[in-house]
Amino acid sequence: MKRRELLHGASTVAMLGLIGRGNAEPTPERKGRIRQCACPGAFGRSSFEEKCEMARRLGLIGIDLVRPGPDWDTLKKYGLMCSMVPSHSLTKGLNHRENHEECLTAIRSAIEKAAEAKFPNVICFSGNRQGISDEEGLENCAVALKQVVGLAEQKKVVLCMELLNSKRNHKDYQCDRTAWGVELCKRVGSPNFKLLYDIYHMQIMEGDIIATLRENLQYIGHIHTAGVPGRHEIDETQELYYPAIMKALVDAGYTGLVAHEYTPTRDPFTSLQQAVRICDV
């Protein structure tokens, strides 16, 4: 085979590889009014380095839920942040006083590490009810959070409790309605404690997404996206119209992050590229 034929064959293979990774379509210039990031699962089964490479090429500014360690060095190498730092267990949370010592130790450590790395947010969870009332859960969470929110204020880190659905995915989880989470924010009384509003979960639990976001925006510090039903791509196959939701956020003056947290059903790069475009209003 002649040298020219070899080079032509190699370039064809390379181009096919790029198309397979979703690179056939260039990323258009973005408005950037919604600051976007993604959770690790949205990148599919790729190495963490490949996730960071994809994120940078898509114009994302961070990856949620990355534990402290070597992966944080990789994030910084690509000019990214950990947009939501993990802390304690989802099911064994702050709503039971016997969990406070363990959960608060994990939260304090996460706040310290986030501040040192200059990352903005730390996640926390109510935990499962396990028979306690909503009022008891609220009071127990407030007692715990008041012990740690001062550190969050000092370190300029926002502690976010995630709203999750207890209907399909997280049976018995207590922070499963916006009103409950907002009441907790009021009791804690600090701008450094807010809610992680997961649109997928709240569509399942209560719907009325745009009005709820508008009415409670001061208590929302971070947002997750996913398609309903199924928690897949946020495209035309699902029941929510994300451009309208994102426009409502922009119009209301939301300045936090929006992270894509779905399981892709096709090429992850193509799906994320589409999600970024849909939310760039």
Q: What angle do CA 261, 186, 223 make, to 5 degrees?
A: 15
The answer to whether position 166 is within a domain reads: yes
Which CA distances in Å does 101 have to 104, 123, 149, 194, 249?
5, 16, 15, 21, 36
The answer to whether position 6 is within a domain reads: no
Q: What percent of the chain has pLDDT over 70?
A: 90
The answer to whether position 8 is within a domain reads: no
Give CA torsion, residues 140, 64, 171, 107, to 10 deg: -20
Query: Can you give the pLDDT at residue 242?
Result: 98
- Tally DSSP H helices, then E strands, for the chain: 11, 8
The answer to whether position 53 is within a domain reads: yes
Query: Can you give the pLDDT at residue 171?
Result: 97
Task: Residue 155: give the domain boundaries.
Answer: 33-279
Element at 224 (helix H, strand E): strand 220-225
Could you report the per-residue pLDDT of 91-140, keeping only the tens digit for each?
999 999 999 999 999 999 999 999 999 999 999 999 999 999 999 999 99
The answer to whether position 130 is within a domain reads: yes
Question: Which stretches of the chain score pLDDT less than 70?
Answer: 1-28
Q: Say how many domains are in the chain.
A: 1
The answer to whether position 241 is within a domain reads: yes
pTM of the complete model: 0.89
Element at 121 (helix H, strand E): strand 121-124
The answer to whether position 160 is within a domain reads: yes
The answer to whether position 68 is within a domain reads: yes
Query: Can you give the pLDDT at residue 29?
Result: 77
Kindly report the CATH number assigned to the domain that includes residue 177: 3.20.20.150
Query: Can you give the pLDDT at residue 28?
Result: 58
What is the C-alpha to C-alpha distance for residues 166 and 150, in angstroms, rounded to an integer? 30
